[in-house]
């Protein structure tokens, strides 16, 4: 758990978080989680990360109130990691990050995630990916329809989305303050385009 900044200045927060996050690859997810806490606290949206599914094998009960899990294994999730409600819409997405320098490899997206996003899209939900490019340090929302078009192309052609394609087809998310990764602005623009086009 990172502490949600309430009384500190934004500059301090950035510093603090960068120092405390050992795994650099986790930073993007933590920013999304921080934004979600901000949205829930301000009643802007209710979006949560789902817990990682665990197969519990052995549990020890030293006392009635305290259970310790002694043996468990990670399970493969059947959905994406994030869902919730915003502007009355069902929102569903996954978070991706790449260290690649020119294009986002589609193999980063798992079969079950694609199937789930497709199903959500079909049911009228807002389905997308949030993609962080580490090297240029840029973040984009990629709507399901666009993702689908790139997956279609990958059947016979290029198996990745070039950064310039992402810049063109995605919704840019600028890093700022309070919350630092204010991705709902991009979601809002995406919903607007979906509902007016």
Q: Which is nearer to a copy of itself, 21 or 40 (CB)?
A: 40
Q: How many residues bind a copy of itself (CB under 8 A)?
A: 37
CA–CA separation, 36 and 48 (whole Å) = 7
Token readout for 96 is: 């991706």
Which pair of structure tokens corresponds to residue 81?
């990691």
CA distances in angstroms from 34 to 2, 88, 103, 162, 194, listed in the order given: 8, 21, 27, 28, 27
Distance of CA 102 to the CA centre of its chain: 21
Cis peptide before 179 (omega within 30 of 0): yes
> Angle 58-62-63 (CA atoms, 0-180°, nearest 5)?
120
Q: Please state the φ and ψ torsions of residue 67, each to the nearest 5 degrees.
A: -105, 130
Least distance in angstroms from the C-beta of 82 to a copy of itself: 11
**Cα–Cα dist 106/159, whole Å:** 6
How buried is 184 (Cβ within 10 angstroms: 0-12 exposed, 13-18 middle, 19+ buried)? Answer: buried
Residues 8-27 that bind a copy of itself (CB under 8 A): none
| Residue closer to a copy of itself, measured from CB, 89 or 103 | 89
Binders of a copy of itself in range 38-57 (CB under 8 A): 40, 43, 45-46, 48, 50-54
Tokens of 104: 């986002």
Binding positions for a copy of itself, 110-169, rule CB under 8 A: 116, 119-120, 122-125
Nearer to a copy of itself, 47 or 133 (CB): 47
Q: Which is nearer to a copy of itself, 124 or 157 (CB)?
A: 124
| C-beta closer to a copy of itself: residue 86 or 100 | 86
Write down the least CB distance from residue 177 to a copy of itself, Å.
Answer: 24
Among 9, 70, 162, 177, binds a copy of itself (CB under 8 A): 70
Shortest Å distance, C-beta 194 to a copy of itself = 13
79 in contact with a copy of itself (CB under 8 A)? yes
**Chain residues in the site for a copy of itself (CB under 8 A):** 40, 43, 45-46, 48, 50-54, 66-74, 77-79, 83-86, 88-90, 92, 116, 119-120, 122-125
């Amino acid at each position: 758990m990172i502490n949600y900044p309430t009384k500190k200045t934004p500059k301090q927060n950035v510093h603090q978080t960068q120092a405390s996050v050992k795994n650099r690859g986790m930073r993007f997810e933590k920013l999304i989680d921080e934004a979600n806490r901000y949205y829930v606290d301000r009643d802007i949206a209710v979006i949560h990360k789902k817990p990682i599914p665990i197969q519990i094998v052995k549990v020890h009960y030293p006392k009635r109130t305290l259970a310790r899990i002694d043996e468990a294994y990670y399970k493969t999730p059947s959905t994406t990691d994030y869902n919730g409600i915003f502007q009355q819409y069902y929102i569903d997405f996954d978070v991706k990050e790449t260290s690649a320098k020119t294009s986002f490899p589609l193999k980063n997206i798992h079969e079950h995630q694609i199937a789930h996003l497709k199903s959500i899209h079909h049911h009228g939900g807002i389905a997308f990916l949030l993609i962080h490019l580490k090297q240029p340090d840029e973040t984009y929302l990629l709507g399901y329809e666009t993702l689908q078009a790139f997956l279609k192309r990958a059947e016979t052609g290029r198996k990745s989305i070039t950064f310039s394609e992402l810049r063109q087809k995605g919704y840019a998310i600028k890093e700022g303050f309070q919350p630092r990764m204010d991705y709902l602005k991009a979601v809002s623009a995406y919903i607007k385009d979906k509902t007016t086009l």
